[in-house]
Amino acid sequence: MPTPIIAGSTGLVGSKILSCLSDQNLNPIALARSTIKLLPANAHELIVDYDSLLTEGSLPKCDHVFICLGTTIKIAKSKENFKKVDLDYPLVIAKKALDSGAKKLTLISSVGADSQSKNFYLRTKGELEDAILELGYESVNIFRPSFLIGRGGRHRAVSEKIFMRAAKIFDIFCIGSARKYRSIDAQKLADKMASTLDSIPGVHYYYFDDFIN
């Protein structure tokens, strides 16, 4: 039986992946900074200090790691802190999971991610993708959603809530090759990510149309 680890297990998507895997009678390991109040029945939590993990420590034996860590510049308060959460922490999790036996990795990135981008956010996402691809995982699944909608995870600012409501109007104009920029319900994304437990070897990219099929 697979032993998956979820980093970012209390976030909007990570919490839904955790529940999905638990519902499949698996025994997922949820990485968290503090105790999870509503831990699913079959899940186990592992309290971690991500800063300490950068220099020491290890992860439990596993075969698949889901990386759902992420923040915003507003919350991080600086580009340096943002990069720590969206690049340094995910990369060290990927390395330590590989050392613990993981052969498959599933990552939430972003539509437009590109290590050569002039946009700081998209460049950071692209740098993480590039670094993970160099680690040597048997199977890598990279999800590139646009704006996420749904309940759960951290408290949302009023501006984000307004944008969530307006997203469906914006989506109408995203047709043809622009469909990948449509907003996506976090539950649909989580369900599709959870299905990568059965992913075949290779590097696989997923966009909007992949999330809804």
Q: Is the pLDDT of residue 64 over 70?
A: yes
Distance CA 180, CA 112 (A): 10
Residues with Cβ within 8 Å of 97's Cβ and at least 6 positions away in sequence, in order, are: 5, 59, 62, 65, 105
Q: What pLDDT score was predicted for residue 45? A: 94
Query: What would the mean pLDDT of 27-50 be, rounded to a whole number?
Result: 92
Sheet holding 104-108, edge to edge: 44-47, 29-32, 4-7, 64-67, 104-108, 139-143, 202-206
Model pTM score: 0.91
Helix (H) or strand (E) holding 205: strand 202-206
How sure is the predictor about 177, in pLDDT bands with cuts at 50, 70 and 90? confident
Query: What would the mean pLDDT of 75-96 be, rounded to a whole number?
Result: 95
Q: What pLDDT score was predicted for residue 151? A: 65
Query: What would the mean pLDDT of 76-86 be, rounded to a whole number?
Result: 95
How sure is the predictor about 184, in pLDDT bands with cuts at 50, 70 and 90? confident
What's at 103, amino acid-wise? K
Structure tokens at 1: 């039986």
Q: What pLDDT score was predicted for residue 38? A: 85
Q: For domain 4-211, give the CATH number.
A: 3.40.50.720
Domain ranges of the chain: 4-211
User: pLDDT averaged over the chain?
Assistant: 89
